[in-house]
Amino acid sequence: MDLWQLKIFCKVVELKSFSRAGKIVNLSQPTVSSHIKDLEDHFGCRLIDRLSKEAVATKAGELLYGYALKILAS
């Protein structure tokens, strides 16, 4: 896990989209998905529910999002 992955994760949560987050951080959608998968593997749980039209944070994802915002702000 690194700060770059946390930034990408926050963008996915905020925009509810892997592809829109990728455009903001200048990465392809598959690369964004790979970073989120790495975070999920690191924490051992699902962080994003991939619904039909949007990506929504799970309870664990919401918790991580709050901490990630604090970490990235410092």
Mean pLDDT by 10 residues, the chain (74 residues): 94 96 96 97 96 91 97 93
User: Could you tell me which residues are beta bridge partners of residue 55?
Assistant: 50
Q: Which amino acid is located at 66 in the chain?
A: G
CB 45 within 8 A of CB 36: no
- The model's pTM is 0.93
Task: Compute the distance between CA of residue 61 and CA of residue 24 in angstroms, rounded to an integer.
Answer: 20
71 C-beta neighbours (distance < 10 Å), count: 13
Strands (E) in 1-74, as ranges, are 48-50, 55-57
What is the per-residue pLDDT across 14-28, written as a single tens digit (0 to 9) for each? 999 999 999 999 999
Q: Could you tell me if 43 and 63 are in contact, meaning their C-beta atoms sit under 8 angstroms apart?
A: no
